């Protein structure tokens, strides 16, 4: 089967990228399943429930999240209504939603797991993602050989270590959060597709999807003002992974970096003041 994993969708530009590019790409490449990180789709900070529905309507089958899972408060209830939206599995059990999903894609059963890393996040009550991953992946493999593990983490070392821990156990170990498409997509020993970070869907010339000059000014002055969405050179970034249906082992992993022409809405300047 072919799985397209897309980097964090950032703001209206990111949603515009998905609207324009996803269906044609899916058709051209015979993609069976689309997974994307959606936690920045609503203005770069969280995912509003309506935006989640819109993105699913545009062809995203499963949305993973991260430390911004509940930045938009309607997702607290919204996530309980949609099994296709995953919050990190290593959040406390009492947190709404779930971090694992089994689904049927054609004739195959697929398991998707989402967890959050330990570094750089102010979530002191997370369970250790490595221990969580080991037990969840082991259990999932008793149900299906096709297990896709999405690790939302800030530290490169943490993601590489997770890849090694799950090499030969998961079909794919895929990093998100940094919004920079890394050049290390490869198949690990044992047939596990791996990449440190999927990059983003949104403005490629930006700081994480936000307007360059404004972000530079924030770093220079230390004055934290609201970021502006960027519309500069939109791209769809991620990876296309081919997985053997029977063994669950990855056959190939290819980086995706497609320029997309997105219409800028009226009254939105390219470089806001």
Inter-helix orientation angle 156-166/129-140, to 10°:
30
Please, are residues 35 and 62 in contact by the beta-carbon 8 Å criterion? yes
Could you say which DSSP state residue 141 is in? T
- Residue closer to Fe ion by CB (options 20, 68) is 68
CB of 122 to Fe ion, least distance (A): 12
Q: What gap in Å lies between CA 264 and CA 234, rounded to an integer?
A: 11
- Residue closer to Fe ion by CB (options 38, 66) is 66
H or E segment at 87? none
State how far the alpha carbon of 236 is from the alpha carbons of 64, 135, 206, 259, in Å. 16, 33, 14, 7
- Residue closer to Fe ion by CB (options 36, 110) is 36
Q: What gap in Å lies between CA 158 and CA 197, rounded to an integer?
A: 12
Q: What gap in Å lies between CA 44 and CA 22, rounded to an integer?
A: 20
Stretch that binds Fe ion, among 24-32, 67-75, 112-120, 126-134 (CB under 5 A): 67-75
CB of 10 to Fe ion, least distance (A): 11
- Residue closer to Fe ion by CB (options 47, 188) is 47
Could you say which DSSP state residue 217 is in? H
Backbone angles phi, psi at 141, to 5 degrees: -70, -15
| 177 part of the interface to Fe ion, by CB under 5 A | yes
Please, are residues 55 and 15 in contact by the beta-carbon 8 Å criterion? yes
Please, are residues 62 and 103 in contact by the beta-carbon 8 Å criterion? yes
- Which residue from 97, 154, 102 is spatially nearest to 129, judged by alpha carbons? 154
Q: What gap in Å lies between CA 233 and CA 253, rounded to an integer?
A: 25
CB of 5 to Fe ion, least distance (A): 15
CB of 224 to Fe ion, least distance (A): 18
- Residue closer to Fe ion by CB (options 101, 177) is 177
- Residue closer to Fe ion by CB (options 177, 200) is 177
Stretch that binds Fe ion, among 59-67, 83-91, 138-146, 211-219 (CB under 5 A): 59-67
Stretch that binds Fe ion, among 63-71, 183-191, 194-202, 262-270 (CB under 5 A): 63-71
CB of 68 to Fe ion, least distance (A): 6
CB of 9 to Fe ion, least distance (A): 12
Binding test (CB under 5 A) with Fe ion, winner from 7, 48, 66, 97: 66
- Residue closer to Fe ion by CB (options 67, 158) is 67
Q: Which residue has the tokens 């994480």?
A: 208
CB of 101 to Fe ion, least distance (A): 19
- Residue closer to Fe ion by CB (options 37, 171) is 37
Q: Which residue is nearest to Fe ion (CB)?
A: 66
Letters for 137-176 (x = contact with Fe ion by CB under 5 A, - = none) are ----------------------------------------
Please, are residues 38 and 10 in contact by the beta-carbon 8 Å criterion? no
Chain residues in the site for Fe ion (CB under 5 A): 66-67, 177
């Amino acid at each position: 089967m072919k799985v397209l994993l897309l980097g964090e969708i950032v703001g209206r530009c990111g949603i515009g990228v998905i609207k324009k590019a996803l269906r044609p790409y899916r058709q051209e490449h015979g993609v069976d399943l689309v997974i994307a990180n959606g936690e920045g789709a609503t203005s770069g900070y969280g995912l509003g429930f309506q935006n989640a529905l819109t993105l699913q309507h545009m062809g995203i089958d499963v949305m993973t999240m991260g430390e911004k899972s509940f930045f938009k408060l309607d997702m607290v209830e919204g996530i309980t209504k949609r099994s296709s939206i995953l919050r990190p599995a290593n959040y406390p059990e009492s947190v709404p939603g779930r971090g694992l999903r089994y689904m049927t894609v054609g004739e195959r059963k697929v398991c998707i797991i989402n967890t959050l890393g330990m570094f750089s996040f102010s979530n002191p009550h997370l369970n250790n993602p490595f221990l969580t991953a080991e037990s969840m992946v082991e259990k999932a493999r008793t149900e299906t050989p096709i297990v896709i593990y999405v690790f939302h983490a800030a530290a490169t070392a943490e993601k590489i270590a997770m890849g090694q821990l799950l090499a030969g156990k998961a079909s794919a170990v895929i990093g998100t959060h940094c919004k920079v498409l890394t050049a290390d997509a490869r198949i690990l020993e044992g047939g596990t597709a791996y990449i440190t970070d999927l990059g983003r869907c949104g403005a490629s010339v930006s700081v994480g999807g936000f307007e360059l000059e404004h972000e530079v000014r924030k770093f220079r002055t230390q004055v934290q003002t609201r970021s502006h969405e960027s519309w500069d050179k939109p791209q769809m970034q991620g990876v296309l992974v081919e997985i053997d249906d029977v063994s669950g082992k990855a056959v190939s992993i290819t980086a995706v970096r497609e320029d997309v022409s997105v219409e800028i809405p009226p009254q939105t300047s390219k470089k806001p003041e």
